[in-house]
Chain A
Amino acid sequence: MKITLRIWRQANKDAQGKMQTYQLDNVSEEMSFLEMLDLLNEQLTDQDVEPVAFDHDCREGICGMCGVVINGAPHGRYNSPVATTTCQLHMRNFKDGDVIDIEPWRAGAFPVIKDLAVDRSAFDRIIQAGGYISVNTGSAPDAHSTPAPKREADKAFDAATCIGCGACVAACPNSSGMLFTSAKIAHLANLPQGQPERRLRVKAMVAAHDENGFGGCTNVGECAAVCPKSIPLESIGQLNRDLIASLFRGDGRTIS
């Protein structure tokens, strides 16, 4: 099929970007969205035009590197009931003659590096602030020495599937990173190993979230509707409960 692409081109972080139009023929509906972009880049290289920069790695929906906004929808999911990453989206979702607008994640906290690639290191800084548990290495404890209740373990596992892609921020009217932050909070708060640092963790991560330039949540729910891993909106409820409860406790009162 033939499609028309309108793609955000921006030379670097400080350059003024704009939408560029490209025609692409011979697009097969079996192609993934990224393979379609590969095809475009081959064509651009042949024409001596700078190829379009976009992030990707695993191309099987598990690494969280890919992600662009397609016709206004992060990862191009639109109203489909099937959660998807950009790399798992296929061209059969489009039809001959379609005009497809492709833009990078837009958020103050995610500056554009080039074209469609954005800098998501603000997410790393939120995780660094507390998204882990501290353990002393040594001989591994017996597997059954710390019982983990099944219901909580399942919740923790579901939350742990967040791949840090950033679609939640791209979709949010406030560019809030609450779904991402709350996925880590819900993951560790539902496991016995997460308990010792639970209160300090939520305080540190919420503070880091705001200080890195993400907006506040207004409980709209766009994040959960685009999340490729179906992280549920109630994770944010867990974060709110944990934060409010932790403020009545002394954790993190001393300046370290």
Chain B
Amino acid sequence: MPVATTSATPSLSVHQRALRSNVVKKAIMAVTGLVLITFLLFHMFGNLKMFVDAEAYNHYASWLHDDILYPILPHGWFIWIFRVVLLACLVGHVYCAASLWRAARHARSSKYVHAAHRPEQTYAARTMRVGGVILLLLVIFHLLMFTTRSVQIGFDSASTPYEMMIGAFSLENWWVVLIYAIFVGVVCMHVRHGFWSAFTTLGANVGPNARIALNCLAYFVAVLLFVGFMLPPVAIMFGMVN
């Protein structure tokens, strides 16, 4: 039977060593990443409610905060469960990313003098790690602005969710729209490679056709997220909503 001949830690069983492998870390990144993408899709769709009218949007926002799963759960519980799950996904995702990054730096310890010819690597794939760090910073900024309201640009603590959105993305705050365009752009690049990568990590790449299909889907989801998230801010900036 196969035995471990090179075990770095002989006190562990083969099963335990496999559990600590890069493939398992990748699988954790894949599952958490897909949960985050699913969340983003719902978040994007929910934002579009603002095109209905102020009341619909505010109602949706208060439903998110207070009413989901009521009466099974008391008012306001769901949002906290939801936040804990998302935070756990983000922490798990970033922890595994850091660990794999360290392993890869160790493995690719010397660089080629003649720049490596990499015909397959897309820009999105090459920037997953740096892009991820930028993404993390922008997520924190986003939460400080719209969740905790610690950064108030174009609104104050008394604003309704709708007023908050209209104020933040008004024409005089064009640079906020620009920051969000960059933010959403970075997210979409990450999703462009991440979506395909996650399914492949979980074993869905069964052949050349699956590779094409998964990559097409990845482009579709990335573009959908970009358009869906940018519609409200751009429409507000150009005064098409008030």
**Residues of A at under 8 Å CB distance from B?**
6, 8, 19, 69, 71-73, 78-79, 101, 103, 106-109, 125, 128-130, 132, 134, 171-176, 197, 200-222, 224-225, 232-234, 236-241, 243-244, 246-247, 250-256
Contact = CB atoms under 8 A, between A and B. Distances in A.
29 contacts: A71-B114, A79-B119, A109-B107, A128-B5, A173-B108, A173-B126, A174-B100, A175-B104, A206-B23, A207-B17, A207-B21, A208-B4, A208-B5, A211-B7, A216-B22, A217-B26, A218-B125, A220-B120, A220-B125, A221-B121, A234-B207, A234-B208, A237-B206, A240-B23, A240-B27, A243-B24, A244-B202, A247-B18, A256-B4
A210 B120 contact: no
Interface string B141-160: 00000000000000000000
Contacts of A176: 22, 104, 107
Contacts of A246: 18
Given A128-B5, A218-B125, A252-B18, A239 B116 contact: no
A196 B45 CA distance: 49
A236 B119 contact: no
Name which of B11, B120, B193, B207 has the most chain A CB atoms within 10 A of its CB. B120
Closest CB pairs A-B (n = 9): A130-B2, A252-B14, A216-B22, A241-B203, A215-B107, A207-B17, A203-B18, A175-B107, A101-B114
Interface residues of B, number: 61
Contacts of B104: 173-176, 215-216, 218
Contact of A240 (B8, B121, B125, B203): B203
B11 A255 contact: yes
Contacts of A209: 21-22
A115 to B, nearest CB: 14
A103 B18 contact: no
Interface in B8-30: 8, 10-15, 17-27
B200 interface: yes
A19 B13 CA distance: 44
Contacts of A203: 14-15, 17-18
A129 B53 CA distance: 64
B18 A215 contact: no
Contacts of A218: 100, 104, 125, 128, 197
Contacts of B206: 234, 237
Nearest to A112: B110
Contacts, number: 218
Contacts of A125: 5-6
B139 interface: no
Contacts of A129: 2-6
Contacts of B111: 106
A216 B27 CA distance: 11
B81 interface: no
Contacts of A251: 14-15
Interface string B180-199: 00000000000001001100
A204 B106 CA distance: 21
Contact of A108 (B7, B15, B108, B115): B108
Given A201-B2, A234-B205, A252-B15, 12 more contacts: A103-B114, A106-B111, A106-B112, A109-B107, A174-B104, A204-B3, A208-B4, A208-B5, A216-B100, A219-B201, A222-B119, A243-B21
A222 B15 contact: no
Contacts of A71: 114, 117
A108 B21 contact: no
B2 A204 contact: yes
A106 B110 CA distance: 6
B210 interface: yes
Contacts of B3: 129-130, 204, 256
A103 B125 CA distance: 25
B4 to A, nearest CB: 6
